Structures are given as C-alpha cells and as structure tokens.
Chains A and B, each alone.
Chain A
Amino acid sequence: MQKKQKIRLDRYLFISVLSVCVGIFIWWLVTDGLGIFRSNVLPSPIKVFKTFLRKWVETKPDGATLFQHVFASLQVALGGYLIGAAIGIPLGIFMAWNDKIDMFVRPVFDLVRTIPGVAWTSVMVTLVGIGYMSKALVIFIAAMVAMVINSYSGIKQTKTVHLWVGQTFGASNWDLLTKVAIPSALPMIFTGLDVALGSAWTTLVAAELLASTKGLGFMIQQARGIFRLDIVIVGMVVIAITGAILSSILRFFQRKFVKGGRM
C-alpha cells in the first residue's frame, strides 16, 4: 500500500516535470526553432538564460550589474518594510486592545487603507522628490497597512473564555495582553508579516518603474525602452525569486517562534 502510494506520487511528479519541459520546448520552438516571434517580441529561453548569467558581471545597458540592482531594491524594500512592521504591529495590537482608541482610529484607518500603495508613489515623489526616501515611504505605508490589519484581527480573535480564565486567576490588564492575547495572535501577526512582505515587494517594483535610477524595476523599465526583452524577463524572474526567498526566510522564523497548532 505504502509503496503503491509512492509510485503514484512519482508519476504525478513526472507529469509536472514533463509539463514544464514541454512548455519550455514550445517556447524554444516558437522563438529560435521556427522563428515565429523575433527576440524583440519574445526572446528564446536560451537567450534569456545567457543574459541571466552575463548580467551578473555586465553593466550594459542600464549602468549596473544584476547584483547591484538586487541590492538597491532590497535596501529600499527592507528599510520600508522593517519600519512598517515596527510601527504597524504595535499599532494594530493597541487599536484592538483599547476600545476607545479603536472606535476613534479605525474609521480613519479604514479610509486610508483603501488607497492602493502604488497611488502613494505620486504623492511621495511630489513631496520629497525621486530617491531613497520617497520609495521607502511608499513601501512603509503599504507594509504598515497590512501589518495593522492582521495584528488587529489577531488580537480581536482572542477567545473570551481564555481572557475570563486569566481574569479569574487575577491577571492584570497587562498580563492579559502579553500572556494571553499576543501569544494567541502570533500566527495572525506572522500572516501579516508575510502579506506585508508581498505588498512591500510589489509596491517597490511600481515605485521603481515610476521613479528611480537603480533597482530591478528600473532595470526592466530601461530594458523595455530599448526592446531588450531578454533583460526584462531576467528582471521578472529575479523579482519573483527574490520575493520567494524573502518569504521563505520569514516562514523559517515563523516555524521557530510560533508555538502550538497553526490556525
């Protein structure tokens, strides 16, 4: 029985691998193989791969190597993200815990959060100009909103029974918050960190497309201008991979810190 299961699993894995291989082969066929699409419409997989390898050392045509672009993007994204988390989590917890503050701040917050992160780019560029600051501020807002929402609903989902038990045993308000509410909200807070990371990374690309002189978003925008689609695709792949790596680092921490069953 066990063995049969394993063989079936392998068969589906084989289909997956085959599916990807066929996809790449078709991509190759319509570009290099039969020449239906020229490389300024769809570059061949081989060309993209070569560009990917070469771009690590070559600065042409946008003035920086791939590593420098990734580094510039990470610097902005992580800066805004960390400040967003540092302010967003306590704010969310505070809003959920204190009823008066909640009723007071929540409507304002609900208004602000409907504004997409990309829209802030224009505001910030006009306010502080093109540069590190405007991009970091946009990402800060995008990350903070996601953080507040999730830590807020995490605290709100605390079971009232648990709070009652705490009260019966004489816990103070502070004890209830730090020993009951926050631990039970931790999975939601981590979900918030994950969502915020995603939106920080997305917003970064948008900010760099609009206003930047370095970074992955800038790179693909420049490459489009001169019809170097191989660089565009390399940029997209690197954006995806970096985002995936960041979120898997986060998941590692989540496994380490969140105790008990996942929600």
Chain B
Amino acid sequence: MLATGITKGRRVAYGIFGIFVFMCIWYLATKYTSLGSVMPDPVTVFSGFFAAFVTPIGTKTMALHILISLRRMLIPYAIGALSGVLIGVLMGWYRFADAIFMPYIQMLRPIPPIAWIPLSIIWFGFDEGSKYFLIFLACFFTIALTTYNGVHSVDETLIRAAKMLGAKDYQLFTTIVLPTTVPYIFSGLQVALGSAWATIVAAEMIRSSEGVGWLIVRGQDVGNMTQIMIGIVAIAITGLLITTIMRGVEAKLCAWAERGK
C-alpha cells in the first residue's frame, strides 16, 4: 500500500539502518570474497576521504579539490543560466526569434556534451576554456528550453485582459509573463545544476591536475581503486549538498507558486 501515517522518526531510523546494512554487505563482500582483491572496503574509503582533508592527494587537499571543481562548474553554469534564460524568453515571446534559433537548438541538443570533448580541446585547448565550454553545453539547452516552455504556458486570456486594460509590453512582461515563467526557470536550473555537476568528471578527463573528477581519472590511470572510490564519495556528497541547497533556495523564492513545491 502507499504511504500513510508513518512517523518521520521511524522513517529516519529505517533509512539509517538501510545504509548500515548496505555498508555491512559491502564490508563483508570485500573481506571474505575475491572482490576484496580489487575493491577497498568502506572503512578504508571513508577514512581515506576524511584523511584527504588533512593530507593532500596529488598537490591539493580534499577541500581544495572540491572547491576547484565547484568553481569550474559554477562559472559556466552562471553563463549558461543567464544566456539560457535570455534566449528562452526571447524565443518564447517573439515568434521571429523562435523561428531563427529553434532549428539550431533542436539540432545541437541531441549531441551529448561529452561528445563535444574532442572539438572543445581543439577549439579551446587543454586549459579551463574547454572545461567551461563542456559544462556550458550541459546546462544551456535545458535552461533555454524550460524557460521557453514556461513563457508558452502563460495563459492567453490573462494577456488579452491586460492588453485590454491598457498594459504596455514591458508591463505585460513583468506582471504576467515573468511570474508564470519563474517556476519553470527554477526547475530548469535545478535539472541543469545536476547535469553540470555530472559533467565535471567528463570535463576533468581533459587534462587537469586537480579537482574531484581528476581524482577519479587519475585513480584509473594508476589503478588506484581507493582513490577512485574517494573521488566518487566526494562527488556524491558535494552533488547531494548543492542540489539540496538549490532546492532550499527554490522553496524560499517560489513559495507562492504551486510548481515551486
């Protein structure tokens, strides 16, 4: 049956118990089967993860690895968000812009950002530029299209009513279009944040010497499974953290909107 009246405390207790059992299985599997020869046990991984905050892996400590990756993600994410919202609104509001940009978006969107790696290396080199480009691609299309859909979901009757009462174009925009669109923009931003963070590993596959993705790629190169797992733990925890923060911001800013729940 579907959920009814189970207290939050029990829920949390079950959850913690579930994770505990998962860790136990992982631990026992590495200790008593042949998996142990290639896979580190959870204690090693988690103690390694926390130890990395003090003793550096490569040239940096864990906090720096995470911060560097975050900066690598946030700069192109901000650019992608700004231009995505702008293009999305433009396309949603003017049929003319729609007709010009839509074919390009439809053509480029199905190409996975990762498939751009070879081209971006040649265009932007091995430095930060190519990484920014990849992450920009990972978020731009999502944000542009959700914004576009948001503008299109505006109720026609409201616009006609406002026009009849003598609203000017920018008034229409600020009082009707924007409030309807903001929840859509936020859901686009949320999805794009997830995919931008997921692309960080791919971006750091292009030559890099620090960052959480580097931990994984480097770990694979030297066959260090513990380092790979530490990198994965770092990515998972940071990813969980930033999406939770984003959801909190959305709940605060869009509290008035049904979709913003």
List chain A positions with a Cβ less than 8 A from chain B: 12-13, 15-16, 19-20, 23, 40-41, 96-97, 99-100, 102-108, 110-112, 114-119, 121-123, 125-127, 155-156, 158, 160, 163, 173, 176, 181, 201-202, 205-206, 209-210, 217, 220-221, 223-224, 227, 229, 232-233, 235-237, 239-241, 243-244
Contacts and interface: CB of A to CB of B under 8 A. Distances in A.
Contacts, number: 167
A205 B217 contact: no
A12, A115, A122 — most chain B CB neighbours (10 Å): A122
Interface residues of B, number: 63
A16 B91 CA distance: 12
B102 interface: yes
A163 B2 CA distance: 9
Given A103-B6, A107-B16, A224 B205 contact: no
A100 B14 contact: yes
A224 B122 contact: yes
Interface of B: 1-3, 6, 10-11, 14-19, 21-22, 38-39, 95-96, 98-104, 107, 110-119, 121-123, 197-202, 205, 213, 216-217, 219-220, 223, 225, 228-229, 231-232, 235-237, 239-240, 243
Given A210-B205, A227-B122, A158 B236 contact: no
Contacts of B95: 12
B6 A232 contact: no
B14 A104 contact: yes
Given A103-B15, A114-B235, A118-B198, A41 B223 contact: no
* SS of B interface (majority): helix
Given A119-B231, A217-B115, A232-B119, A102 B103 contact: no
B115 A126 contact: no
Nearest to B240: A114
A122 B217 contact: yes
